[in-house]
Amino acid sequence: MTTELHEQLRRAVRDFATQEVAPRVAAMERDQAVDRGLASLIANQGWIGVTIDPRWGGMGAGHEAKTIIVEELSRVSAAAGAVAQASQLGVAKIALFGSEEQQRIWLPTIADGSVLPTIAVTETGSGGHVLGMRSTARRSGGSYVLNGKKCFVGNSHVGGLHGVVVRTGPGSRGLTAFLVEADRPGVALEPHEPRLGLHGFSFGSIRFDNVKVPASAVVGEVGGGLAVAYSSSILYGRVNLAAVALGLHRAVVERVVSEAQNRVRYSRPLGDLPVVQHKIGKMQARLAAASALVYQAASMLDRGQPCDSALIASKHEGVALLLDSVRQGMEIHAADALYSGSAMARLMRDSWCVEPPAGTGDVQAHRLAEGLLHPGRYPDWSERFAGKLAARGAWAAPASTPAPAEPLVLAAADGAPR
Ligand SMILES: Cc1cc2nc3c(=O)[nH]c(=O)nc-3n(C[C@H](O)[C@H](O)[C@H](O)COP(=O)(O)OP(=O)(O)OC[C@H]3O[C@@H](n4cnc5c(N)ncnc54)[C@H](O)[C@@H]3O)c2cc1C
């Protein structure tokens, strides 16, 4: 349930995105390089600290506020939304599992934008099968020595503090999370390789060659790395990616409506064709559904309510609905969308980039089904961390049933029976 404060934040982010981010998009698409300036611009707004407790200098504004920031940035540039979401995902492990000392050292620097945190779990040989990872940390006196390589790390090339999950022993109790400063000897970035989309954002590979860290760099318990990875992904990652998808979805609908109003065929605007209207109506219905899912899930987090399945569903459906709309957007733009420099082509490329992170659609569906078929098999992370997730102070919405951010429209706006 959004408050006036949330709406003020939305206006501020929207203005920032229009004035500061939009003018960078063409160069990001052309150069396909990491835009370091973009990352610091966003971090300097203090928005990476949106969920950080005010006692550490954060906004304490919670997950609906975070969703607004990521959605509004992504509407203008999914790369900008991805910068914000990836670092807020990096916050999760410190906020949820960090010691008082780790929180005191790192959270204020993240909140003020001077350090961007990452989370580095994925490896080429294991992907979404986290337990299949091969990177290791070996105890050596009062230190650990890390070796291995992580890939697809969000903000890899701009992050100052990597949250790295590696093997310290066998089995599911054999993973441990560490905080590793990007400038530690032995930490090396692989050259940035442009991907299909999200140009400007870095999600590349980081090598760890005999990187020595003190034992105090362990986040949570030794052997507790799986919980750190899973809980961060479910509590922050899924709803973050759903917010990127929502911003993209809004941009797709706006692009298509403009095209339907301005492209003339048969001496009339394209939007006069019933088939085009039908597609636009379906898009709007999907957008409303995706918005309702993500804001409902974020609102439940802010209220400390158990909501793991709502978080997972928001990512699953948010991305699936977006990709359906992208397909229709491509159809309506027809050959024009095939210019790789066109706005529709950028939206299509960026949209595909939000399917794998924080778990592919198949993995989300698998996890939702497991929750129904085998209740209790997985911990409910939102219940476990309820006290740490709730929004603070004036950001906390009044206690009533969370309402979707927009009315949920369940059928296309084409006059068909409902
Ligand atoms: C933009 C972006 C940002 C990212 N950010 C980060 C980050 O910050 N940190 C990080 O560590 N990683 C990050 N990743 C990596 C991301 O988490 C992985 O891409 C994801 O876990 C899937 O791994 P994979 O791509 O290797 O696919 P794979 O795991 O190899 O999956 C291949 C196929 O098998 C299916 N599949 C796999 N397992 C199952 C299952 N159990 N049930 C059903 N189907 C299954 C998948 O759906 C997929 O179709 C990012 C990726 C992208 C694209």
Q: 107-136: per-residue pLDDT in tens?
A: 999 999 999 999 999 999 999 999 999 999
Architecture (CATH level 2) of domain 4-116: Orthogonal Bundle (1.10)
The class (CATH top level) of 226-395 is mainly alpha
Nearest atom of ligand 1 to the alpha carbon of 355: 53
Residue pLDDT, tens place only, 50-66 = 999 999 999 999 999 99
Region 338-348: mean pLDDT is 97
Q: 119-223 is classed in which CATH architecture?
A: Beta Barrel (2.40)
Local structure of residue 196 (DSSP, 8 states): S
Q: Is ligand 1 within 6 A of the CB of residue 60?
A: no
- Predicted local confidence at residue 392, as pLDDT: 82
Distance CA 313, CA 319 (A): 10
Ligand 1 centroid – CA 358 distance (Å): 7
Ligand 1 centroid, distance to 324 Cα (angstroms): 20
Element (H, E) at 165: strand 161-167
Alpha carbon separation from 229 to 75, 182, 190, 242 (Å, rounded): 28, 19, 23, 18
Distance CA 408, CA 395 (A): 24
pLDDT tens sequence across 360-385: 999 999 999 999 999 988 889 999 99
What per-residue confidence (pLDDT) applies to 400? 46
Length of the chain, please?
418
132-183: per-residue pLDDT in tens? Answer: 999 999 999 999 999 999 999 999 999 999 999 999 999 999 999 999 999 9
Q: 195-228, pLDDT tens digit by residue?
A: 999 999 999 999 999 999 999 999 999 999 999 9
Give yes or no for residue 195 CB within 6 A of ligand 1. Answer: no
Asked if residue 417 has pLDDT above 50, the reply is no
Ligand 1 atom closest to the Cα of residue 89 is: 8
With a 6 Å cutoff on the Cβ, whether 368 touches ligand 1 is no
Please report, as a single letter, which amino acid is at residue 295: Y
Atom of ligand 1 nearest to the CA of 358: 17
The residue behind tokens 């999370």 is 177
Residue 154 in contact with ligand 1 by CB distance below 6 A = yes
Residue from 418, 322, 379, 268 nearest 81 by CA? 322
Please give the distance, rounded to the nearest whole angstrom, from the Cα atom of residue 415 to the centre of ligand 1: 40
pLDDT at 329 over 90: yes
Cα of 130 from ligand 1 centre, angstroms: 9
CA of 128 relative to ligand 1 center, distance in Å? 4
How confident is the prediction for the chain on average, in pLDDT?
Answer: 94
Structure tokens at 282: 């379906």
36-52 pLDDT, tens digit each: 999 999 999 999 999 99
Q: Is 203 in the pocket of ligand 1 (CB under 6 A)?
A: yes
pLDDT-based confidence at residue 405 (cuts at 50, 70, 90):
very low
Decide whether any atom of ligand 1 lies within 6 Å of the 130 Cβ: no
Share of the chain above pLDDT 90, in %: 90
What spacing in Å lies between the alpha carbon of 119 and ligand 1's midpoint? 14
Q: Is 352 in the pocket of ligand 1 (CB under 6 A)?
A: no
pLDDT digits (tens, 9 = 90+) for 272-320: 999 999 999 999 999 999 999 999 999 999 999 999 999 999 999 999 9
119-223 and 226-395, same CATH topology: no
Q: Ligand 1 mean position to 349 CA, how many Å?
A: 17
Rg of the chain's alpha carbons, rounded to an integer?
A: 21
319 lines ligand 1 (CB under 6 A): no
Look at residue 221 in the predicted model and tell me its pLDDT: 97
- Token pair of 16 as six digits: 């920032």
| Largest pairwise CA distance in the chain | 79
Ligand 1 centroid vs 328 CA: distance in angstroms? 25
Domain boundaries, the chain: 4-116, 119-223, 226-395
**Ligand 1 atom 8: the closest Cα is on which residue?**
154
Per the rule left: phi > 0, alpha: psi between -120 and 50, beta: everything else, 127 is: left
Expressed in angstroms, the distance from the first to the final Cα of the chain is 27
Q: Whose CA is nearest to atom 41 of ligand 1?
A: 363
| Closest ligand 1 atom to Cα of 366 | 42
Residue 147: the pLDDT is 98
